Amino acid sequence: MKRKVLLPGLVILAAMFGAVALMATSPQLDPDIPEPVAPTVRVRDVLPESIQLRVHSQGTVAPTQVTALFPEVAGRVVWISPALVNGGYFENDTVLLKLDDQDYRSALQRAQAALARAEAEHDHARFEHQRMRSLEQRRLASRSQMENTLKELRVKQAILEDARANFDQAQRDLERTEVRAPFNGLVQSESVDVGQLVGRNVSVATLYASNQVEVRLPIADRQLAFLNVPLGQRGALPEDVRPRVTLSAEYAGRTLQWDGRIVRAEAQIDTASRMVNVVARVNSGAHVEPPTVGLFVDAEIEGLTKDDIVVMPRTALRNGNRVLVVDEDQRLRFRDIEPLRLYQDDVLIVQGLERGERVCVSPMQTPIEGMRVQPIVDQDAT
């Protein structure tokens, strides 16, 4: 009975002793907390440079000069130029319209005859006055007779001048039966035909000049600060400060470009859009394919040149005009900056960064001050 009780107790004691021995001799395991993996971010080096600012706008091509074509004399239309059709091209001093000139030729002949008669009477009056003056000097004629011939000479002089004016007028009226183009251009519209009786100063067509075109470009007032336009400037700009402008458009399946200048700023602000309109002018003769009137174009205007500007992608901007700078220990540091403007996909920074610093341009949801990162050079920057 004692053996049955003692034996199990010894076994339990031996097991407990063995467990204690195993625990005492087992190796100690120290906990090892793994280092967090630093996220990889793209960085760009800070390289200040000089930047040519640009302003973009859009507008429609319009002619610089539009005029109505008026005959200066009345008559029946006997001939019309093939160029006098909608969209027709003509050159300066081209005859566009002819009126019946028979009445004006007759008027010129009568004026010429009246002029010849007036010249003859004037010559006779002058001879009589000279003869009477000679007789008066020799006391063979009275003073009153000499004064009468002087009066007659002056009357004939006035008649002669009137005849010359009538002759010149008749000659001009005859020339005006041919209606000529005042400049190189195109026909916008016409409303005349052969056989039609037209009156003096009745519009028969609308023409516009083709040597130059203009485009009105709306610009926000804050964008004007980037252009080389003197403050308070209204009207035509001086030649030496006219900004360059490049116009472009998709036309006939191709991309076309034209160079021009901003020539003036309009004197009022558009009440609907709160924009200021500047006017770009393009010399059509300088281009093989000049811009077509009515074409909608994009405009890129050259502005001021700014020095020491840092260009970064918009993704570099954080809330509150801040960026993330990667220091020498590969840690993120928030930095306040002063942006000049947002331009397309970039931000132009004027203050807050030093040359050689690295700016994080990767989007990050929760960046933390002092966070360790693994920077790599942004391939887009290279």
**CATH code: domain of residue 89:** 2.40.50.100
Q: What is the pTM of this model?
A: 0.72
Number of structural domains in the chain: 4
Q: Are residues 115 and 147 in the same domain?
A: yes
Q: Are residues 167 and 82 in the same domain?
A: no
Of the three residues 285, 305, 325, the one that is the final residue of a domain is: 305
Instruction: Work out the widest C-alpha separation in the chain, in whole angstroms.
Output: 202
CA 72 vs. chain centroid, Å, equals 37
Q: Are residues 232 and 220 in the same domain?
A: yes
Which pLDDT belongs to residue 143?
A: 78
Question: Is residue 19, in this structure, part of any structural domain at all?
Answer: no
Q: Are residues 167 and 247 in the same domain?
A: no
Q: Are residues 281 and 220 in the same domain?
A: yes
Which of 236, 189, 184 shows the shortest CA–CA distance to 212? 184
Q: Are residues 155 and 129 in the same domain?
A: yes
Which pLDDT belongs to residue 21?
A: 66
Q: Are residues 368 and 267 in the same domain?
A: no
Of the three residues 250, 280, 305, the one that is the final residue of a domain is: 305
Which pLDDT belongs to residue 62?
A: 94
Which pLDDT belongs to residue 270?
A: 77
**CATH code: domain of residue 108:** 1.10.287
Which pLDDT belongs to residue 31?
A: 59
Retrieve residue 202's tokens. 């009745």
Look up residue 272 and give its amino acid.
A
Question: Is-contact 77 198, C-beta < 8 A?
Answer: yes
Which pLDDT belongs to residue 77?
A: 95
Question: Is residue 350, in this structure, part of any structural domain at all?
Answer: yes
Question: Is residue 31, in this structure, part of any structural domain at all?
Answer: no
Q: Are residues 300 and 215 in the same domain?
A: yes
Which pLDDT belongs to residue 144?
A: 82
- Stretches where the chain sits below pLDDT 70 are 1-11, 14-15, 17-35, 230-234, 380-382
For residue 364, give its domain range. 41-51+307-377
